Amino acid sequence: MSEEKKVVIKRLKSAQTMGQFMVDYYRELDQAAKAGKPKIAWCTSVGPAEILRALGFLIYFPETHSAMLGTSRMATELIPVANAIGYSPDICSYLTADIGAFCKGVSPLQKAFKIDSVPKPDVLVYNTNQCRDVQDWFTWYSEKFNVPVVGIHTYRGVGEVTDAHLDSISKQFENLVAPLEDVADRKLDMDEFKQIVALSRECSDLWDQCLAKAAAMPSPLTFFDGCTLMGPAVVGRGTQKAIDAYKILLGELEERVGSHDGALEDEQFRIYWDGMPVWGRLGVHSKMFAGLNANVIASTYCSSWIFSALDPNDPFTSMARAYTELFIVRSDDYKEEYIRNKLDFFKCDGIIYHNAKTCPNNTNCLYGMPQRLEQDTGIPSLIIDGDLNDLRLLSDEQTKTNVEAFIEQLEERK
């Protein structure tokens, strides 16, 4: 009988540092929730964290909690709870899993960090650059907790980022300040704000450098590592602690590159991943690819927390630029060019698009892009159907057969 090959994936030592960062982060939030101070803001993952931090809020990100509902495979049981109260199984399964968990009074934080429940918010702040679903999601919680919800309404399909975009978005950021000051019960200190923006930028630059190390052959990093290593870039941007963590990670990656030490024993194929991860299958997918000597080295998703435009000298406008230059709100022309550059930079042999059923905003294979890019670059592509959190939308066997067949196709080309 043919045996499944034993798979060796070399874990990064600094993953522990990043893990500890997340433990400390959630414990601090839990303590604040219990003590009633500092105040807590809930923020979307690409929301205006810098303003919130400058006003002294601790920030909780429901999307990260939803990803944990995914990785812990709790989500699929909880999504139907939200479906039953009117949130369709076709919409964001971050939203439905999270609201389902809240309704049931459960959280992965209980098992992971011995934290009873998510920290109660004093205010909710969204940016629709992720999607419109975050607005509905946060508004639901606003009613539940009886706290204010405020938000930024982004542009979509942005080609060139123009002054008109920047004026509008930076004005929206400025208009958030007064209501947030009311909740924070303090004024925004511009020097402090600038300092936070500088820290956020430094964190972003370091994360960018870490991801870029995957261009080395063999790559010291996998996409699946990146999905957990990005935690501090999402929840900790604007803090020194996140910067310190990424300096350690970068050091280890540089060491690996210097000694040609790849994340896989034998990296034969280099794959780009577009779209969300399947959180409940992160480990399974990691092993599946490694077993085929295929390293998924880079992704659009992990790069979504790079904000190179942030400039402490012009915090509002640069935030407007950083959060509008983001891949997810850009035009298809821009997105195609972006992915084309990534395929080239990371020297990829193939690209896999994850068609995440409940996240069309993070899915880029629905309007002919795979065909256009394949024709243009000659780099083969594969679309796999699935979802970020709802495992009912997944066929593991189909995924496995598709991926194996794709790697066989790449093998034949070598």
Stretch that binds another protein, among 58-66, 141-149, 267-275, 393-401 (CB under 8 A): 393-401
Stretch that binds another protein, among 81-89, 120-128, 142-150, 404-412 (CB under 8 A): 404-412
As a whole number of angstroms, the distance between CA 85 and CA 88 comes to 9
Stretch that binds another protein, among 98-106, 135-143, 226-234, 380-388 (CB under 8 A): 380-388
CA distances, 184 to each of 45, 135, 188 (Å): 20, 21, 9
Cβ closer to another protein: 119 or 350? 350
List 4, 160, 163, 191, residue binding another protein (CB under 8 A): 4
- Angle, helices 282-291 vs 396-413, to 10°: value is 30
- Angle, helices 75-84 vs 93-104, to 10°: value is 90
Q: Answer yes or no whether residue 381 interacts with another protein by CB under 8 A.
A: yes
List 208, 261, 374, 396, residue binding another protein (CB under 8 A): 374
Q: Answer yes or no whether residue 372 interacts with another protein by CB under 8 A.
A: no
Q: Answer yes or no whether residue 117 interacts with another protein by CB under 8 A.
A: no
Cβ closer to another protein: 213 or 281? 281
How near is the Cβ of 173 to another protein at its closest, in Å?
41
How near is the Cβ of 397 to another protein at its closest, in Å?
6
Which residues within the stretch 52-111 sit at the binding site for another protein (CB under 8 A)?
none
Give the footprint of another protein on this chain (CB under 8 A): 1-2, 4, 374, 380-381, 383, 385, 393, 395, 397-398, 401-402, 404-405, 408-409, 412-413
